[in-house]
Chain A
Amino acid sequence: QLQLQESGPGLVKPSETLSLTCTVSGGSISNSTYYWAWIRQPPGKGLEWIGSVYYSGTTYYNPSPRSRVTISIDTSKNQFSLKLTSVTAADTAVYYCARRNIVVFGFDMWGQGTMVSVSS
């Protein structure tokens, strides 16, 4: 049974960098059927796709906040990561990692999510 698990600090100071890692277990992150994504949800609000990465390292980003985002993948560790620089209170959200199935075309597996607050 495939599982995704987010990890990282729950509190980040304004102007600093938010760093999260998603560990994939029960399956290979190098499976060519899938892309791996970060999606966030501010408290009480809707969902926002941040970006995606393929096992080859190819990345795709939401135009906003494109300039502040870096997503990378480490196939040897079965992990992918998110870095978001120069954070503000507007970046406070639950951050989910998810799997995008290229056959199904939806995000068909999700981590449980991790709450990240931006505050001094």
Chain B
Amino acid sequence: EIVMTQSPATLSVSPGERATLSCRASQTISSKLAWYQQKPGQAPRLLIYGASTRATGIPVRFSGSGSGTEFTLTISSLQSEDFAVYYCQQYNNWYTFGQGTKLEIK
């Protein structure tokens, strides 16, 4: 099983600032990585696939990068609606998710 490790567990950032979330795979997964956003009481929403391609309707302030084992999700200028939990997920070998990063208001 490919283990996905996200850091930090919690990230405190002020609105308008940049947020950088990290995800590491236990073995190489090429660019077979997706990012999701989950708000309380809601299902996850697909943000990014292929490590860097935004899903339909996702604002340009969300960007993804990386390949191999190290990946990053960047939110360039945080809006109030961006405070949520973010998960990375690999699809190189079945599907496994990271444990999540909670993005909270500073």
State in angstroms the CA–CA spacing of A68 and B5 once bound together: 27
A-chain residues with CB within 8 Å of residue B95 when the two chains form the complex = 49, 62
Tell me if A63 is interfacial: C-beta within 8 Å of chain B.
yes
Known A-B contacts A49-B94, A49-B95; A105 and B50 likewise in contact (beta carbons under 8 Å): yes
Given contacts A63-B1, A105-B91, A106-B89, contact A112 B97 (CB under 8 A): no
The B interface, classified by DSSP as helix, strand, loop or mixed, is: loop
Assess whether A106 is in contact with B43, with CB atoms less than 8 Å apart.
no
Q: Which of A34-60 contact B (CB under 8 A)?
A: 45-49, 60
Which residues of A4-26 have CB atoms within 8 Å of chain B's CB atoms? Answer: none
Q: Which B residues are in CB contact (< 8 Å) with A62? A: 94-95
A98 to B36 CA separation, bound complex (whole angstroms): 13
Q: List residues 38-83 of chain B with CB under 8 A from any CB of chain A.
A: 42-46, 48-50, 55-56
For the complex, give the distance between the alpha carbons of A111 and B87 in Å.
Answer: 17
Residues of B within 8 A of A107 (CB): 34, 36, 44, 46, 89
The docked-state distance in angstroms from the alpha carbon of A49 to that of B2 is 13
Interface size class of A (residues with CB under 8 A): 10 to 19
Q: Is there a chain B Cβ closer than 8 Å to A80's Cβ?
A: no
A10 to B64, CA, bound (A): 37
Q: How far is the CA of A112 from the CA of B38 in the complex (A)?
A: 12
Contacts of A96 in B (CB 8 A): 43-44
Q: List 17 A-B contacts (CB under 8 A).
A: A46-B100, A47-B87, A47-B97, A49-B94, A49-B95, A62-B95, A63-B1, A96-B43, A104-B46, A106-B48, A106-B49, A106-B55, A106-B89, A108-B55, A110-B44, A112-B42, A113-B43
Beyond the given A46-B100, A107-B46, please list 8 additional residue pairs across the A-B interface where CB-CB is below 8 A.
Answer: A46-B97, A46-B98, A48-B97, A49-B96, A96-B44, A105-B34, A107-B34, A110-B45
Binding site for A on B (CB under 8 A): 1, 32, 34, 36, 42-46, 48-50, 55-56, 87, 89, 91, 94-100
